[in-house]
Amino acid sequence: MELLDAIKNRRSIRKYKDTQIPRKALEKIIEAGTYASNAGGGQRSMIVGVHNADLAKKLGKLNMAGFDRSRLIGSYVSKEQPSVIDDPTIKNGFYGAPSVCVVFAQRDFMFGIPDAFCCAETMLIEAFDLGISSCIISRAEDTFRSEEGESLLKEWGVPDNYIARCFVILGYCDGIYPQPKPRKAHRSIIIE
């Protein structure tokens, strides 16, 4: 597959089959994340891959625990793949995806957030190349801000100076994979 075709055709998927992805594929997706561009070449981000549908579901519910929809009134994300903003009946912020990667950054590092999202985007492209659907999910900090969330971090051995910055959910698209959306015009210029 041409890389630009992969970049253009990848979509955020929010309807998943129950089928788990192969562990080997998860390992490759995580490996791709570790090769993402990173501030100062510091390779500070950490990725925890959750290859367990029950635990992914539990985290997806924690992700929604403090979700404040009122700030988002008037926003709309997708008709084909409705998000938690579009459909208030969705109670799992991970949409039933059977695997999820949690991307962590050093708590006080000024480029921790961009580093984490660079990892996430790189993982999405690798997942697409492997035929696996994905979506970036935010509100990672809030997801672990409970006794239950904090005890998971301890159990996983995440160092205290690390904070979750985003998620990449993974699985197989249930239904028709959406086409790329047309791009808004006038978003770039080239100066010779």
Q: Which residues bind ligand FMN (CB under 6 A)?
A: 11-12, 14, 77-78, 83, 117, 135-139, 181
Which alpha helices (DSSP H) does the chain contain, by range?
A: 3-9, 23-34, 53-65, 112-129, 140-143, 147-156
Q: Tell me the residue type at 9.
A: N
Q: Smallest gap, in angstroms, from Cβ of residue 138 to ligand FMN?
A: 4
Task: Answer yes or no: are the C-beta atoms of 84 and 90 closer than 8 Å.
Answer: yes
Taking only Cα atoms into account, the Rg of the chain, rounded to an integer number of angstroms, comes to 17
Q: Considering the complex, state which of residue 24 and residue 183 has its C-beta at the smaller distance from ligand FMN.
A: 183
Task: Answer yes or no: are the C-beta atoms of 134 and 12 closer than 8 Å.
Answer: yes
Q: Considering the complex, state which of residue 84 and residue 153 has its C-beta at the smaller distance from ligand FMN.
A: 84
Candidates 106, 141, 125; CA nearest to 36 is 125
Q: Considering the complex, state which of residue 46 and residue 103 has its C-beta at the smaller distance from ligand FMN.
A: 103
Q: Smallest gap, in angstroms, from Cβ of residue 12 to ligand FMN?
A: 4
Q: Smallest gap, in angstroms, from Cβ of residue 163 to ligand FMN?
A: 16
Q: Smallest gap, in angstroms, from Cβ of residue 32 to ligand FMN?
A: 17
Q: Considering the complex, state which of residue 1 and residue 191 has its C-beta at the smaller distance from ligand FMN.
A: 1
Q: Smallest gap, in angstroms, from Cβ of residue 152 to ligand FMN?
A: 19
Q: Distance between CA 137 and CA 89 in Å, rounded? A: 17
Residue 114: phi and psi, rounded to 5, are -60, -40
Q: Considering the complex, state which of residue 23 and residue 138 has its C-beta at the smaller distance from ligand FMN.
A: 138
